[in-house]
Structure 1
Amino acid sequence: MGKQMPIHCATREQTVFSLAVVNKAVNLTDGFPYISVCGNVPPQSCIFSQVLNIGAASAAWICILRYYQLRDWGVRKWHNQVILWTGLLCALGTSIVGNFQEKNQRATHLTGAFLAFFVGIVYFWLQLFLSWRMKNLPQPGAPWIGPLRLVLCSACFILEVAMVVLHSWSMRSVSAICEWVAAMLLFILFGLLAVDFSRLDSCTLCLQPGSGSLRPPPDSPTSLHVQL
């Protein structure tokens, strides 16, 4: 699942870009467009919203799986919860970006973009910091996976800062290119979590009654087995 989500989302964002060019919603002679500009006008805005909603749901599911994996590896609860919530905020921001187009709800759209890009990269920095502090954590995959993540996180963060700075300097085309590349790097970072999930065959969701429940649990099944 980790590999499929970034590939599909990246491909569909390229589809949105192509539609925007074909429908003349953007003019490449005026400069390279931001991702959000490509998704401002229908029909590409509809595809844009759907793509980001699917991506947000997939990212949230990946973050939840990662939370339980880190818990089983012995990561402290509050450390793990901070990582989880940054990932969920990234997913929420992605959905906000897709549903609140930049030309209609600019402030809301920019808030979502901040959550998707900047909180999203914090999610991966926290995991890198955790793997550096906890030497006993399992390290699935080849030895170069860790350094690759460090390079991707560094490049993504630099591009995000450059995107903001260049935009403030009115260098919109270069800023937009930085935005597109940063988005692709975030997709790749999510995809690399497939390496960590490679040893998982399935997961089980267990439902338990709350401590204040007055009724005994029903005789229905209380666990859901999901094959990965």
Structure 2
Amino acid sequence: MWGYLTLLPLFLALWAIAGVWIVFAIAVANRSVNLTQGFPYISICGSYPPQSCIFSQVLNVGAALAAWICVVRYHQLRDWGVGRRLNQLTLWFGLICVLGTSIVGNFQEKNQKPTHLVGAFFAFVSGNIYFWLQLVLSWRMKSLPQPGEPWLRLLRLSLCGLCSLLIVAMIVLHHWPLRSASAACEWALAMLLFALFGLFAVDFADLDGCALCLRPRPGLQPPPASATPSL
């Protein structure tokens, strides 16, 4: 039976993918976007109520789930023997991606465009770097028995490479300007990043759960028993 940690990445991927397409459908239905004028960016679809409320909720919940996944993955890699500095660097890129996702959801393009664009940069670029670093860590630990088939590493490599190409294409096409093509690249990029998070279900397949353990800093002594309040 799969543990909840295995289902968490799958739920995140399905939640995020379904959520943004529901936002798109509502925006088309209430004519917040006009498809005859071109294919819209995700941010345009999520800029107007009522779908802007759904957009914020989808990305905020997704960001919270992604943050938890990044932390669990950090501890998993640490237990596998990955060096602390590179593992922490990878974690920070993942958390910056999470922060950017939350910013995108809360600062809609229509209301606060500069902040929204900063959040989008964090979400897309930091997210892509995070998964490249995950590939590096996985390659360095290739001698260990890892969950999943060997071809999954090749799949992740392909998805990361495609994400990098889509980021470049999205920026170039936006400035040409070929906005519909750029928007299509943005949608494809978002779907691939959600899918990469979903693939962590394979890595978490052998995990049944996790526990929170607090450790005092070196040199600090726990308080005496008499000073510990009773509950």
| TM class by smaller structure | over 0.9
Alignment partner, residue 105 of structure 2: 98
Given candidates 171, 176, 179, the residue that maps to 1:169 is 176
Given candidates 207, 217, 228, the residue that maps to 1:200 is 207
Determine if the alignment matches structure 1 residue 14 to structure 2 residue 14. Answer: no
Given candidates 131, 142, 167, the residue that maps to 1:135 is 142
Given candidates 69, 72, 85, the residue that maps to 1:65 is 72
Given candidates 19, 35, 38, the residue that maps to 2:42 is 35
1:95-127 deviation per Cα after TM superposition (whole angstroms, max 9, x unaligned): 000000111111110110001001101000001
Q: Which has the higher contact order (CA 8 A, sep 6+)?
A: 2
Paired residues, number: 221
Code of the aligned partner of 1:203 = C
Structure 1 residue ranges, 4+ long, deviating more than 6 angstroms after superposition: none
Which structure shows the bigger proportion of residues in strand conformation?
Answer: 1
The alpha-carbon distance between structure 1 residues 159 and 199, as it changes in their structure 2 partners (threshold 3 A), is same
Alignment partner, residue 196 of structure 2: 189
Determine if the alignment matches structure 1 residue 45 to structure 2 residue 52. Answer: yes
Per the normalisation by structure 1, the TM-score is 0.92
Given candidates 80, 89, 95, the residue that maps to 1:82 is 89
Given candidates 114, 121, 125, the residue that maps to 2:128 is 121
The alpha-carbon distance between structure 1 residues 141 and 107, as it changes in their structure 2 partners (threshold 3 A), is same
Per the normalisation by structure 2, the TM-score is 0.91
| In 1, Cα distance between equivalents of 2:70 and 2:60 | 15
1:37-89 deviation per Cα after TM superposition (whole angstroms, max 9, x unaligned): 00000100000000000010010000000000000000010011001000000
Bigger mean CA offset, 151-160 vs 209-218: 209-218
Q: CA offset at residue 215 of structure 1?
A: 4.2
